[in-house]
C-alpha cells in the first residue's frame, strides 16, 4: 500500500534569495543533521545567464541503531539521491529525493518546493509531499508503514528551526539582504550565484568516503532515511 504525507505550507519570513543562501548551508553536512555523513555532488550546472542551476547529490547516511540490529539488517550506511532545480529568475527551488538503498523493497519519493509567498514578496513558502511504497518486507509492510510515517510527521517540523539556524550564519557573514536576479544586471546575478552556491565554483564532484559494508534493505535504514531531511 502506498502511504502519502503532505505537510502544511510553511512560511519563512525572509526573502527567497536569503532562504536559498541559508538552505545551502546544510551541505555537504552539518551538526544539526548528524545522521547525514556526506553529500557528494555528482552533477551540477548553471545556465549561461546565471538564472538556473541543476544539481544532483548522492548522500550518505549513518544507520543509528544498536549493534545487534545493524548485524541483523547487514548495513552500516544508506544512500539517497537528491535532485534540485533552482530558478533564480522565477524564484523557486524544486527538490526531489529518492532512495537508492533498498529500492527493490521500499520506494520513497519526497518532493519539496520553496517559492515566493503569493501575498508578500519578502516571504518564502515551503511545501512538501512524500510517498512511501513498501513493496515487500517479510510480511511486516503495515508495521513499517506506520512506524515510518509517524517518525516522518514528528521530525518534519524541525525544518523551520534549521532555516532559522542557518540564517543566523548567513547574517553573521555580513549578508543581510540579496538583490533578486535581474535581467540586464550580470554583475549582480553573478554575485547572487556566488552566494547561493557558497562561492564553490565550479562545484566539482567529490567522492564519498569508502564504506565498510555494502548497503542492503533494512527496516531501520528506512526510518533513518525518511527522517533525515527536516527540509
- Evaluate if residue 228 carries a pLDDT over 60: no
Query: Average model confidence (pLDDT) for the chain?
Result: 79
Provide the pLDDT for residue 34: 76
Q: Which residue has the higher pLDDT, 21 or 145?
A: 21
Between CA 7 and CA 129 the distance in angstroms is 6
Is 180 in contact with 91 (CB distance < 8 Å)? yes
Q: How confident is the model at residue 108 (pLDDT cuts 50, 70, 90)?
A: confident
Is 218 in contact with 77 (CB distance < 8 Å)? no
Where exactly are the structural domains of the chain? 2-227
- Assigned CATH class of 2-227: alpha beta
Give me the helix-helix angle, 219-227 and 141-156, nearest 10°: 20
Q: Could you give the angle at the alpha carbon of 72 between the alpha carbons of 66 and 76, nearest 5°?
A: 65
Between CA 12 and CA 121 the distance in angstroms is 11
Provide the pLDDT for residue 219: 43
Q: How confident is the model at residue 169 (pLDDT cuts 50, 70, 90)?
A: very high
- Evaluate if residue 89 carries a pLDDT over 90: yes
Q: What percent of the chain has pLDDT over 70?
A: 70
Across the range 121-130, mean pLDDT stands at 94
- Evaluate if residue 42 carries a pLDDT over 70: yes
Q: The pTM is what? A: 0.82
Between CA 11 and CA 145 the distance in angstroms is 28
* Listed ranges 60-64, 143-147, 154-158, 195-199; the one with the highest mean pLDDT: 195-199
Is 130 in contact with 108 (CB distance < 8 Å)? yes
Provide the pLDDT for residue 74: 59
- Evaluate if residue 117 carries a pLDDT over 80: yes
Provide the pLDDT for residue 207: 43
Q: What sign results for the dihedral spanned by CA atoms 159, 164, 168, 170? A: positive
Between CA 206 and CA 189 the distance in angstroms is 26
Across the range 22-50, mean pLDDT stands at 88
Amino acid at each position: 500500500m502506498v502511504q502519502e504525507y503532505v505537510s502544511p505550507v510553511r512560511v519563512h519570513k525572509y526573502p527567497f534569495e536569503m532562504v536559498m543562501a541559508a538552505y545551502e548551508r546544510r551541505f555537504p553536512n552539518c551538526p544539526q543533521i548528524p545522521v547525514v555523513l556526506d553529500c557528494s555532488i555528482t552533477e551540477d550546472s548553471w545556465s549561461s545567464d546565471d538564472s538556473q542551476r541543476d544539481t544532483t547529490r548522492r548522500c550518505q547516511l549513518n544507520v543509528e541503531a544498536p549493534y545487534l540490529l545493524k548485524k541483523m539488517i547487514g548495513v552500516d550506511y544508506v544512500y539517497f539521491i537528491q535532485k534540485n532545480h533552482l530558478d533564480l529568475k522565477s524564484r523557486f527551488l524544486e527538490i526531489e529525493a529518492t532512495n537508492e538503498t533498498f529500492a527493490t523493497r521500499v520506494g520513497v519519493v519526497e518532493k519539496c518546493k520553496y517559492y515566493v509567498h503569493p501575498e508578500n514578496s519578502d516571504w518564502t513558502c515551503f511545501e512538501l509531499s512524500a510517498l512511501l511504497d513498501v513493496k515487500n518486507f517479510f510480511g511486516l509492510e503495515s508495521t513499517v508503514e506506520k512506524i515510518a510515517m509517524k517518525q516522518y510527521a514528528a521530525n518534519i517540523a524541525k525544518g523551520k528551526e534549521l532555516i532559522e539556524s542557518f540564517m543566523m550564519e548567513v547574517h553573521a557573514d555580513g549578508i543581510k539582504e540579496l538583490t533578486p536576479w535581474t535581467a540586464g544586471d550580470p554583475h549582480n546575478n553573478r554575485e547572487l550565484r556566488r552566494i547561493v552556491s557558497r562561492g564553490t565554483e565550479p562545484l566539482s564532484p567529490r567522492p564519498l568516503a569508502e564504506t565498510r559494508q555494502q548497503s542492503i534493505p533494512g527496516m531501520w535504514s528506512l526510518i533513518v532515511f525518511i527522517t533525515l531531511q527536516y527540509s
